[in-house]
Amino acid sequence: MDSLLLDLGWPSYQQRSVDRWQNGLHEQKQDYIAEEVPISLIYNGMPHVVMLATPTNLEEFALGFSITEGIIKNPQELLSARIYNRSNGIEVQLKIPDNRFQGMADKGRNLTGRTGCGLCGASTLKQAIRQPNQVNGELSLSGAQLRSALTDIKQHQTLNRLTGAVHAAAWVIPGQGIVDLREDVGRHNALDKLIGLLLRTGKDLSAGFVIVTSRASYEMVQKTAWVGITMLAAISAPTGLAIRLADETGLTLIGFARDDQHVVYTHPQRLTHSNPLI
């Protein structure tokens, strides 16, 4: 994939003087505020969707979004990505094969995606409820390894430590812990950025699993299973539709994942509770 990254001029956070009150005491201090910026994804010259996102790792975001939305089938089909700073946001101009671009006529999106948006812009039920292929990885994870990753994840959330306002999606390999992590104000964006990173760098997606610092909505399960990852652990709760999709596709879905607890909703065979921490 050819890429061109221009000087965006959009920071991921800003500093602002604020009045803080705590226990009846007042102080003025500098606070760190996470930015969300309109990101326009343009395919072969045609605007497709505008997402509100943190203006970092946008090439990975574009690749992950393009794959998990079914626009392209593999990273090689993203022929080029050029990122341009505009006065009111950022344009990501993407080039894909003509046959894939023609297939986008059925997507019917061309709408604004809000920060927390997963299915925003979907115009038909068929487009919104896409069924991933079965995931068949033989991943084996101990409860201790899961808890260790959940304990460590905050240390990897650089932007969230400053702002307290962004989600993270982490790639964890048993025995190695957290290997990669991406952050964004939108949980779907963070996951797309992580998936884009994994695909761009040719990672073995059967070797690890994903932790997200959010609830496990249907779209999060769909994106994870779409690329063949076999396990998703969410710090908050799953939805009923997410559980049904995980069950149907063979994905192990874990909710309420904290460093002292977790709930396994589907396909528990990949998670053991007797293996030692490696």
With beta carbons less than 8 A apart as the criterion, state whether 226 and 67 touch: yes
Tokens of 12: 């991921």
Catalytic residue among 104, 117, 221, 243: 117
Q: Give the 3-state DSSP-derived string for 237-261, with helices as H, strands as E and coil as C.
A: CECHHHHHHHHHHCCEEEEEEECCE
User: In the 8-state DSSP scheme, what is residue 268?
Assistant: G
Is 117 marked active-site? yes
CB atoms within 10 A of CB 154: 12
Sequence-ordered list of residues with C-beta below 8 angstroms from that of 42, at least 6 positions apart, any chain: 48, 91, 92, 93, 94
Q: How far apart are CA 172 and CA 200, in angstroms?
A: 17
How much of the chain is helix, strand and coil, in % rounded to 5? 30, 35, 35
Mapping DSSP to helix (H, G, I), strand (E, B) and coil, where does residue 194 land? helix
Would you call 124 helix, strand, or coil by DSSP?
coil
Which are the catalytic amino acids? 117
